[in-house]
């Protein structure tokens, strides 16, 4: 594994959970301490819950009122509750704090990140990958059966392997920074309310400003994101993305938008970002795979990049583990590309659509008219549900060949009565194995369940997410993959999960007690 950002840490933890030996190479000497990604969307919150990580993340999250999601910053809160989630608001958590939780889990599972270790070259053959790395003791060669590039938007692995990364170069540059204020005008938001109320323009700038953390009940730090209005989202003078963000430019922008009483106290850190938009054409090249920003980059609107990477990792982890253990059915590892490439492409498309609505060109009347129509549409319940599903990651449904709406969709986190007490679906998934839920009576004895699947007899109890499974046809048995997606449903003794168990978990079955 190359890279210990959120994608690499999540994937390494998934592999370690499945008993796979993994080396995580990270060039940085210490965790970045940079907030960058500021949030976990509702689907990622569910994913974290399904590995028992959500409590630790919630402890480190920024407390806020329920404000709803957004599309293109438009003033219509998106309501994810119709998607029947326990976490409709997601969580506001600086990326470095999420990484801390993931790295702690990885350590608990017996794996340490190899820091100050830079991958400089690699070659692959039929049996594995040889990586050349430089660490404080010099240059060494490491060999692994597979290598996953989780090394971010500037991926070294992508460059070494020459994997195509088609798309569009950035057309703008904006600044994101974490700051402390020495003085704040009344216009400075005191709470993290809906994004549309946190954005202002003034003095030629647009700016998003919201509290990030507190000390002794008072706001201590803020996140500020800004650019120049006249060139759309960007600031022409800052097109050099490598130029460090300076306290002067942040102070100038703050004063321009919030007036002279708003005074910068300290710039904690800052970065520039663009609307560059690219995706690798194939997520698998032999024994080298790509995940997270190494596979896709886009404008960070709607806070989707980190979430996409964590969910790539959830999709890949159990498939790669089964492959390494030699029990993967044919095609399982390739299904990673087949399932996740369209998901990444869809995020690239929605960020491009949002940037059109957010960055009016100088003759902006047409865009303003379009924005008004989208605002009106987003107020319609069905359209709001659609956009909330798109932006929260909850509407994702993989095409697994069965038209039933439940097959390929995430399993709703129902509350169940089981032989060992009341359990939620997410609690049952914490082992990292698949789950065959028997909801209609005693299981048929002739079904042989592979070791990678837990068979659980259960009754659905009423819960905040309701009691409906969400299938169009009757179902009393549901097979859930380790990543939380339903891969088969059946009803009655004649519909057996045998073919689905073989397809997803391998034919070499053994009975579990
Ligand atoms: C301003 C801004 C705001 C954002 N806001 C959000 C948000 O609100 N929500 C959201 O979901 N996303 C957001 N994102 C996107 C999010 O930060 C990224 O999508 C996320 O960091 C991707 O994680 P990753 O693990 O794939 O890559 P990275 O976090 O980039 O991690 C890659 C790691 O690989 C290491 N590495 C690179 N090359 C090598 C090498 N050769 N050898 C060893 N190690 C190497 C790097 O040091 C790094 O630690 C934002 C991004 C920006 C810039």
In degrees to the nearest 10, what's the CA dihedral of 146, 150, 152, 158?
10
Question: Within a 10 A sphere around the Cβ of 59, how many other Cβ atoms?
Answer: 10
* CB of 156 shorter than 6 A to ligand 1: yes
Q: What is the pLDDT of residue 239?
A: 52
Determine if ligand 1 sits within 6 Å of the CB of residue 2.
yes
Long-range Cβ pairs for the range 185-193 (8 Å, 24+): 185/258, 185/259, 185/261, 185/262, 187/258, 187/259, 187/262, 188/222, 188/258, 188/262, 190/219, 191/64, 191/65, 192/62, 192/64, 192/65, 192/67, 192/92, 193/64, 193/65, 193/67
CA distance linking residue 410 with residue 480, whole number of Å: 9
For residue 257, the SS3 value is: helix
Can you tell me the distance from the alpha carbon of 128 to that of 131, in angstroms, rounded to the nearest whole number? 10
Q: Is the CB of 149 under 6 A from ligand 1?
A: no
pLDDT of residue 219: 87
| Pairing state between β 434-438 and 453-461 | parallel
- Distance of CA 293 from the midpoint of ligand 1 (Å): 6
Q: Distance between CA 227 and CA 229 in Å, rounded?
A: 7
Pocket lining: 42 vs ligand 1, CB cutoff 6 Å: no
Angle between helices 365-378 and 334-358 (to 10 degrees): 120
Mutate which of 26, 36, 116, 198 for ligand 1? The one with the most ligand atoms within 8 Å of its CB, which is 36
- In three-state secondary structure terms, 430 is helix
Mutation test of ligand 1: which of 91, 238, 293 has the most ligand atoms closer than 8 Å to its C-beta? 293
Whose C-alpha lies nearest to ligand 1, atom 26? 292
pLDDT at 231: 53
What string of pLDDT tens digits covers the 513 residues of the chain? 999 999 999 999 999 999 999 999 999 998 877 778 778 999 999 999 999 999 999 999 987 788 899 999 999 999 999 999 999 999 989 899 999 999 999 999 999 999 999 999 999 999 999 999 999 999 999 999 999 999 999 999 999 999 999 999 998 889 999 999 999 999 999 988 999 999 999 999 999 999 988 888 888 899 999 998 865 444 444 457 778 999 999 999 999 999 999 999 999 999 999 999 999 999 999 999 999 999 999 999 888 999 999 999 999 999 999 999 999 999 999 999 999 999 999 999 999 999 999 876 656 788 889 999 999 999 999 999 999 999 999 999 999 999 999 999 999 999 999 999 999 999 999 999 999 999 987 777 778 899 999 999 999 999 999 999 999 999 999 999 999 999 999 998 889 999 999 999 996 544 443
- DSSP string computed for 347-399: HHHHHHHHHHHHS--SSTHHHHHHHHHHHHHHTSHHHHHHHHHHHHSTT-B--
pTM of the model: 0.94
- Contact in structure between 303 and 39 (CB atoms under 8 Å): yes
Task: Give CA–CA dist 385/373, Å, rounded.
Answer: 17
Q: Given this model, what pLDDT does residue 6 score?
A: 97
Q: Which of 427, 278, 451 is nearest to 351 (CA)?
A: 278
Q: How many of the other CB atoms lie within 10 Å of CB of 251?
A: 17
Query: Does residue 274 line the site of ligand 1, with CB under 6 A?
Result: no
Q: Is 14 in the pocket of ligand 1 (CB under 6 A)?
A: no
Whether ligand 1 lies within 6 angstroms of the CB of 354 is answered as no
Residue 447 CA, ligand 1 centroid: distance in Å: 44
38 CB within 6 A, ligand 1: yes
What's the maximum distance between 2 C-alpha atoms anywhere in the chain? 76
Nearest CA to ligand 1 atom 14: 37
Ligand 1 atom with least separation from CA of 225: 1
Return the residue whose CA atom lies nearest to atom 4 of ligand 1: 37
């Amino acid at each position: 594994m190359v890279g210990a950002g959120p994608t690499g840490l999540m994937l390494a933890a998934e592999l370690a959970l499945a008993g796979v030996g993994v080396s995580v190479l990270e060039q940085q000497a210490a965790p970045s301490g940079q907030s960058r990604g500021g949030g976990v969307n509702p689907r990622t919150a569910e994913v974290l819950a399904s590995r028992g990580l959500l409590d630790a993340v919630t402890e480190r999250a920024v407390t806020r009122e329920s404000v709803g999601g957004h599309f293109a910053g438009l003033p219509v809160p998106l309501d994810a509750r119709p998607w029947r989630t326990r976490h409709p608001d997601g969580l506001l958590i600086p990326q470095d704090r999420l990484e801390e939780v993931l790295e702690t889990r990885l350590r608990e599972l017996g794996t340490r990140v190899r820091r100050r270790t830079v991958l400089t070259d690699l070659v692959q053959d039929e049996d594995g990958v040889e990586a050349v790395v430089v660490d404080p003791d010099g240059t060494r060669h490491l060999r692994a059966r597979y290598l996953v590039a989780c090394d971010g938007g500037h991926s070294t692995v992508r460059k070494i392997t020459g994997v195509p990364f088609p798309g569009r170069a950035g057309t703008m540059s904006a600044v994101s920074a974490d700051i402390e204020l020495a003085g704040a005008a009344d216009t400075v938001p005191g709470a993290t309310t809906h994004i549309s109320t946190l954005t202002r323009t003034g003095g030629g700038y647009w700016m998003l400003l919201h509290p990030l953390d507190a000390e002794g009940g008072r706001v201590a730090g803020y996140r500020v994101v800004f650019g120049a209005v006249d060139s759309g989202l960007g600031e022409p003078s800052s097109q050099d993305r490598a130029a460090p963000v300076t306290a002067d430019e942040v102070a100038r922008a703050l004063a321009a938008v919030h007036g002279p009483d708003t005074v910068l106290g300290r710039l904690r850190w800052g970065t520039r970002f663009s609307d560059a938009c690219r995706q690798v054409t194939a997520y698998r090249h032999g024994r080298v795979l790509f995940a997270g920003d190494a596979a896709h980059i886009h404008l960070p609107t709607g806070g989707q990049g980190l979430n996409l990477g964590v969910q790539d990792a959830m999709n890949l982890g159990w498939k790669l583990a089964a492959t390494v253990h030699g029990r993967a059915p044919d095609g399982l590892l390739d299904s990673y590309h087949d399932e996740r490439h369209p998901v990444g492409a869809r995020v690239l498309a929605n960020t491009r659509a949002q940037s059109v609505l957010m960055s009016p060109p100088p003759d902006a009347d047409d865009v303003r008219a379009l924005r008004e129509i989208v605002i009106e549409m987003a107020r319609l319940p069905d359209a709001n549900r659609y956009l909330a599903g798109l932006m929260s990651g909850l509407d994702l449904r993989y095409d697994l060949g069965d038209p039933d709406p439940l097959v390929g969709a995430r399993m709703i986190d129902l509350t169940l009565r089981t032989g060992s007490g009341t359990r939620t679906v997410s609690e049952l998934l914490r082992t990292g194995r698949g789950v065959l839920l028997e909801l209609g009576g005693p299981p048929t004895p002739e079904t042989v369940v592979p070791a990678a699947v837990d068979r659980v007899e259960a009754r659905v109890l009423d819960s905040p997410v309701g009691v409906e499974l969400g299938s169009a046809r009757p179902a009393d048995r549901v097979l859930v993959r380790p990543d939380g997606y339903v891969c088969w449903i059946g009803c009655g003794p004649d519909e057996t999960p045998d073919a689905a168990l073989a397809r997803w978990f391998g034919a070499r079955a053994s009975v579990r007690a």
